[in-house]
């Protein structure tokens, strides 16, 4: 089962392992931890300890690095690591090369064949070859691994999930045959749609709501790493907010659009284009991130990713000390005003301040009396109500008739 080294447990499916053992007790399930060169040795050692403690067969591997060595190409910046990334005393932490992985698969296959033939009936034909199938989520590197092991491009490879459409078999030797299958999305109630997009399981180009997916990225990648990779400056939290909170998706997208000049036809920042590019960098390894095994805390790890958890805790302590000071009412009102302006809630009209008039002009003038001359005065003939004139008009007698 091929999994991504940055979060192996997300891509692992224990139900599939149990199903394989139910079909044949001789079948073995091995975790091929791909993209392991994106992890520092300290994190790989923690994952190796976790796998050993839970009796999980595993191998660290990098299909991109193996393909680049095979073709003589230079790796991209995010895949180039210092020399100490491979130097380790634990042989299980070392990232396997192409020949080493083939030898490991060959030895495991021969062991399975011997165990199966030893328990098979005497009259049954004994098999001399074993089949190694590569299964897993989409876009974890199954086809890339097979191409690297075969030594040439035999299967289609792309960053878009769902490239492999049908089952493929490739014969390596008389004792070993490789099988490539389409990506399988296993049912899970713990992951949302946006987490599956950020993990490369669902296509990015079909994404309809981009802010939720970018918020997942902002929660997993430290603020200073985003600023360092993209050479941008993210807005700092307000004085009334938690100073150690992760950046908001809107803040990341607006800062990225401003630095790259992404503007939509409406004149607003093109957040959709920026979100797609950030997600591709996140999945491709340009934005460094990794998950730790359950029950293990992140210790101070100094690596090229710039992710030092110890410095994060120190900064958090300093922020907490600074956050003890209660902000003044003027600062809070200024922050609320800036928040309203940023979200379009404040009025855009200019507020004109009325000048204070002189003191001698502030006297209250007497109320103007209305003209009541049209009313009838209180006399014997009238009661003070409006006068109603009576008009008399002669009745119409009709046309005259002559006799």
Same domain assignment for residues 208 and 143: no
Quick one: which of 159, 183, 174 has its CA closest to 11? 183
Whether 397 is in a domain gets the answer: no
- Minimum mean pLDDT range among 121-125, 216-220, 281-285: 121-125
Same domain assignment for residues 234 and 293: yes
CATH number of the domain to which 217 belongs: 1.10.1580.10
Whether 243 is in a domain gets the answer: yes
CATH number of the domain to which 122 belongs: 3.40.50.300
Q: What span, in angstroms and rounded, lies between the C-alpha atoms of 197 and 375?
A: 84
Whether 152 is in a domain gets the answer: yes
Same domain assignment for residues 168 and 236: no
Residue 45 has pLDDT above 70, yes or no: yes
Same domain assignment for residues 128 and 216: no
Whether 328 is in a domain gets the answer: no
Q: What span, in angstroms and rounded, lies between the C-alpha atoms of 186 and 375?
A: 93
Quick one: which of 211, 64, 215, 75 has its CA closest to 139? 64
Whether 353 is in a domain gets the answer: no
What tens digit of pLDDT does each residue of 361-393 get? 666 667 777 766 655 555 555 555 555 555 566
Same domain assignment for residues 72 and 209: no
Q: What span, in angstroms and rounded, lies between the C-alpha atoms of 45 and 43?
A: 5
User: What residues pair up with 59 in beta bridges, in sequence order?
Assistant: 32
- 88/78: higher pLDDT: 88
* Contact (CB, 8 A) for 196 and 153: no
The H or E element that residue 252 is part of is: helix 249-260
**Mean pLDDT value of segment 347-374:** 65
Q: Give the model's pLDDT for residue 199.
A: 87
Q: Give the model's pLDDT for residue 150.
A: 83
Same domain assignment for residues 201 and 153: no
Domain end position, chosen among 180, 205, 229: 180
pTM for the model: 0.66
Same domain assignment for residues 71 and 147: yes
Structural domain boundaries enclosing 31: 2-180
Indicate if the alpha-carbon torsion angle 285, 289, 294, 298 is positive or negative.
positive
Residue 75 has pLDDT above 80, yes or no: no
- 219/359: higher pLDDT: 219
CA atoms within 13 A on the CB side of 25: 5
From residue 47, alpha-carbon distances to 11, 50, 216, 372 in Å are 14, 5, 23, 99
Q: What span, in angstroms and rounded, lies between the C-alpha atoms of 385 and 383?
A: 6
What tens digit of pLDDT does each residue of 88-102 get? 567 778 899 888 888
- pLDDT tier for residue 257 given thresholds of 50, 70 and 90: very high
Total tally of structural domains belonging to the chain: 2
């Amino acid at each position: 089962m091929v999994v991504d080294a940055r979060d192996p447990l997300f891509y692992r499916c224990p139900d599939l392992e149990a199903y394989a053992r139910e079909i044949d007790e001789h079948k073995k399930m091995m975790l091929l931890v791909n993209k392991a060169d994106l992890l520092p040795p300290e994190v790989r050692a923690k994952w190796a300890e976790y796998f050993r403690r839970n009796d999980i067969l595993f191998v660290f591997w990098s299909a991109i690095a193996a393909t680049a060595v095979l073709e003589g190409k230079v790796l991209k910046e995010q895949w180039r690591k210092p020399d100490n990334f491979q130097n380790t005393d634990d042989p299980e932490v070392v990232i396997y090369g192409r020949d080493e992985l083939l030898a490991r698969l060959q030895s495991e296959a021969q062991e399975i064949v011997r165990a199966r033939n030893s328990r098979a009936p005497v009259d049954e034909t004994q098999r001399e070859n074993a089949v190694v199938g590569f299964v897993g989520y989409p876009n974890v590197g199954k086809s890339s691994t097979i191409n690297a092991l075969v030594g040439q491009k035999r299967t289609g490879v792309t960053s878009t999930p769902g490239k492999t459409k049908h089952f493929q078999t490739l014969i390596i030797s008389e004792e070993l045959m490789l099988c490539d299958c389409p990506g399988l999305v296993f049912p899970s109630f713990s992951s949302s749609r946006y987490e599956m997009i950020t993990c490369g399981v669902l296509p990015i180009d079909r994404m309809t709501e981009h802010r939720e997916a970018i918020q997942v990225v902002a929660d997993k990648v430290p603020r200073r790493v985003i600023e360092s990779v993209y050479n941008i400056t993210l807005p700092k939290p307000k004085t009334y907010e938690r100073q150690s909170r992760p950046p908001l998706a809107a803040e990341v997208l607006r800062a990225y659009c401003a630095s790259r000049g992404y503007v939509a036809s409406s004149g607003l920042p093109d957040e959709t284009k920026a979100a797609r590019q950030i997600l591709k960098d996140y999945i491709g390894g340009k934005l460094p991130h990794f998950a730790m095994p359950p029950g293990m805390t992140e210790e101070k790890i100094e690596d090229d990713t710039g992710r030092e958890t110890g410095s994060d805790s120190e900064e958090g302590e300093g922020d907490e000390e600074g956050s003890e000071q209660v902000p003044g009412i003027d600062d809070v009102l200024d922050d609320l005003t800036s928040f309203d302006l940023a979200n379009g809630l404040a009025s855009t009209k200019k507020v004109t301040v009325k000048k204070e008039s002189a003191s001698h002009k502030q006297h209250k003038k007497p109320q103007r009396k209305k003209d009541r001359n049209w009313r009838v005065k209180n006399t014997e003939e009238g009661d003070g109500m409006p006068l109603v004139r009576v008009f008399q008009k002669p009745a119409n007698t009709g046309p005259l008739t002559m006799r």
